[in-house]
């Protein structure tokens, strides 16, 4: 069985690397030749734990990386993982997946194969049936369900654990018509992932599942963050103890209850806006979703208010931000709350210095010389009036009195509460813990 993966972004490259590392005959396709060249040399275009190692194992086996779409003509399985970025109104941009579908269709027209095409790109309900399927049929001159299979197969990867999530998904969703291709796909996935639940449904439900999944996670985060704000204004209240306890309730679960300055990244904000946009078009007022998004947006204002309260004013103050990636173990700063914080502080004429173990280069692309970049945590803290811990990198947990000795004013605002149990000679505020 020969497998193609079209689109070598976060999802596509993770999938390509895992499949190839297991000995499958895989071809990874991307229109960016420079990216392909890097990947062929075992270099990943972004940081993800274990990805580079997995990629290099795959390259030693049966992995081909190319910008030549014609290589998919001999493939039995074609995964489509191209991006669906966000428009200004919250809707998703389909230009890339339309182009990929048209190109795949043209290749199919010259192929003798009867492949299964699996759409992993995140798209709103009815996109596959109303847009992708007609393009493929028109460009290939072939009929879906007969001469090729077309199945929705949403992904549920988390950044920082993409390799593990690819190897061990919590569920597999296959959406589409009940054809011979669906039966074949079910057998393939059952072999790839034994004992993992396989959900067979239609296109629209499968597409909706991905948005429902991310919308619920966003709701869970906003809920615990709102509780965190209440705790912060309640002397002695501790959000971490509350989260730990309610997380033990099997009806709730412990995941995504880590209160912080708000959710970010490439998925949750984008998918929430897309869901709101889709809901409005469907004639359903997304009241709860709006509240979730508003709560998330408020979180950064809570941090700003705390900085202003403790410093008095921020103009000309040296403020250190520790962590710009939206979460630890990634270099992704897309929709990062830390980036939003920095932008707001700059408007208030603060002097900003940042540190991040992996995301400095990506941060430079946004701010250039408008802020300072520190190579070490100690350099970041030197002469600082205030340090704001935004990302829960492991190394920030090592901060102690020696680390902060060269601060001009020993003020710490800990948005992740990673130093809450330490005795620090500093004015310390932990978001979500009420001061007595």
| Domain annotation covers residue 318 | yes
Q: Backbone phi, then psi, for 77, in 5-degree steps?
A: -125, 135
- Indicate if 317 and 402 belong to the same structural domain: yes
267 catalytic, yes or no? yes
Q: Quote the pLDDT of residue 435.
A: 83
Domain edge (last residue) among 201, 227, 255: 201
| Domain annotation covers residue 74 | yes
| Domain annotation covers residue 101 | yes
Non-local (6+) Cβ contacts of 314 within 8 A are 307, 308, 345, 348, 349, 350
Q: State the pTM of this model.
A: 0.93
- Indicate if 44 and 105 belong to the same structural domain: yes
| Domain annotation covers residue 436 | no
| Domain annotation covers residue 402 | yes
| Domain annotation covers residue 209 | no
Listed in sequence order, the DSSP H helices in 110-202 are: 127, 133-140, 162-167, 180-192
- Indicate if 8 and 135 belong to the same structural domain: yes
- Nearest CA-CA partner of 121 in 1, 280, 8, 279: 8
Q: Is the separation of the CB atoms in 151 and 182 below 8 Å?
A: yes
- Indicate if 170 and 242 belong to the same structural domain: no
- The active-site residue, picked from 36, 231, 267, 386, is 267
Tell me the C-alpha to C-alpha distance, in Å, between residue 341 and each of 294, 323, 352, 381, 421.
16, 11, 10, 17, 25
Q: Quote the pLDDT of residue 312.
A: 87
Bridge-partner residues for 78, per DSSP? 4, 117
Tell me the C-alpha to C-alpha distance, in Å, between residue 271 and each of 123, 124, 261, 333.
9, 9, 19, 16
- Indicate if 260 and 386 belong to the same structural domain: yes
Domain extent, residue 254, equals 214-430
- Indicate if 99 and 246 belong to the same structural domain: no
- Indicate if 423 and 345 belong to the same structural domain: yes
- Indicate if 219 and 151 belong to the same structural domain: no
Bridge-partner residues for 161, per DSSP? none
Q: Is the separation of the CB atoms in 380 and 391 below 8 Å?
A: no
Question: pLDDT 10s per residue in the chain (436 long)?
Answer: 999 999 999 999 999 999 999 999 999 999 999 999 999 999 999 999 999 999 999 999 999 999 999 999 999 999 999 999 999 888 999 999 999 999 999 999 999 999 999 999 999 999 999 999 999 999 999 999 999 999 999 999 999 999 999 999 999 999 999 999 999 999 999 999 999 999 999 999 999 999 999 999 999 999 999 999 999 999 999 999 999 999 999 999 999 999 999 999 999 999 999 999 999 999 999 999 999 999 999 999 999 999 999 898 899 999 999 999 999 999 999 999 999 999 999 999 999 999 999 999 999 999 999 999 999 999 999 999 999 999 999 999 999 999 999 999 999 999 999 999 999 999 999 999 998 7
Q: Is the separation of the CB atoms in 6 and 120 below 8 Å?
A: no
Q: Is the separation of the CB atoms in 179 and 149 below 8 Å?
A: yes
- Indicate if 106 and 139 belong to the same structural domain: yes
The DSSP output letter for 419 is: T
Q: Quote the pLDDT of residue 379.
A: 96
Q: Is the separation of the CB atoms in 128 and 100 below 8 Å?
A: no
In angstroms, the CA 166 to CA 193 distance is 10
- Indicate if 219 and 100 belong to the same structural domain: no
Q: Is the separation of the CB atoms in 385 and 409 below 8 Å?
A: yes
| Domain annotation covers residue 208 | no
In angstroms, the CA 169 to CA 155 distance is 9
In angstroms, the CA 197 to CA 407 distance is 53
User: CATH no. for residue 41?
Assistant: 3.40.50.720
- Indicate if 194 and 235 belong to the same structural domain: no
**Sign of the torsion formed by the C-alpha atoms of 73, 96, 215 and 306:** positive
Domain edge (last residue) among 176, 201, 226: 201
Coil/strand/helix, residue 24: coil
- Indicate if 302 and 332 belong to the same structural domain: yes
Q: Is the separation of the CB atoms in 84 and 94 below 8 Å?
A: yes
Domain edge (last residue) among 175, 201, 227: 201
- At 30, list the tokens: 């991307």
| Domain annotation covers residue 291 | yes
Coil/strand/helix, residue 183: helix
Count of structural domains within the chain: 2
């Amino acid at each position: 069985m020969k497998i193609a993966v079209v689109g070598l972004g976060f999802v596509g490259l993770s999938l390509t690397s895992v499949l190839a590392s297991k000995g499958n005959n895989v071809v990874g396709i991307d229109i960016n030749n420079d990216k392909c060249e890097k990947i062929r040399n075992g270099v990943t275009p972004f940081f993800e734990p274990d990805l580079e190692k997995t990629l290099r194992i795959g390259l030693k086996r049966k992995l081909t990386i190319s910008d030549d779409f014609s290589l998919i003509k001999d493939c039995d399985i074609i995964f489509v993982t191209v991006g669906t970025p966000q428009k200004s109104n919250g809707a998703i941009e389909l230009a890339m997946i339309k182009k990929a579908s048209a190109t795949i269709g043209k290749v199919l027209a010259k192929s003798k194969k009867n492949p299964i095409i699996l759409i992993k790109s995140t798209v709103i309900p009815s996109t596959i049936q109303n847009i992708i399927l007609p393009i493929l049929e028109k460009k290939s001159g072939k009929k879906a369900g007969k001469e090729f299979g077309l199945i929705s197969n949403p992904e549920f990867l988390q950044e920082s654990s993409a390799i593990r999530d690819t190897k061990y998904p919590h569920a597999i969703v296959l959406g589409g018509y009940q054809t011979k291709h669906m039966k074949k796909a079910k057998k393939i996935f059952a072999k790839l992932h034994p004992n993992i639940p396989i959900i067979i449904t239609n296109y629209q439900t499968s597409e909706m599942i991905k948005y429902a999944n991310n919308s619920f996670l966003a709701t869970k985060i906003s809920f615990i963050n709102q509780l965190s704000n209440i705790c912060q204004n309640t002397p002695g209240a501790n959000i971490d103890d509350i989260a730990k306890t309610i997380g033990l309730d099997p009806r709730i679960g412990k995941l995504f209850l880590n209160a912080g300055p708000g959710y970010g990244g490439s998925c949750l904000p984008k998918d929430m806006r897309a869901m709101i946009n889709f809901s409005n078009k469907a004639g359903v007022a997304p009241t709860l979703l709006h509240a979730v998004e508003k709560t998330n947006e408020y979180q950064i204002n809570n941090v700003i208010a705390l900085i202003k309260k403790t410093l008095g004013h921020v103009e000309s103050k040296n403020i250190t931000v520790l962590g710009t990636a939206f979460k630890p173990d990634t270099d992704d700063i897309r929709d990062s709350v830390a980036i939003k914080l920095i932008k707001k502080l700059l408007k208030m004429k603060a002097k900003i210095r940042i540190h991040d173990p992996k995301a400095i280069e990506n941060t430079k692309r946004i701010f250039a010389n408008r802020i300072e970049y520190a190579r070490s945590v100690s350099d970041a803290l030197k002469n600082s009036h205030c340090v704001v811990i935004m990302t829960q990198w492991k190394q920030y947990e090592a901060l102690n009195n020696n680390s902060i000795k060269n601060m001009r004013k020993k003020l710490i605002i800990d948005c992740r509460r990673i130093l809450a149990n330490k005795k620090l000679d500093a004015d310390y505020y932990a978001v979500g813990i009420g001061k007595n």
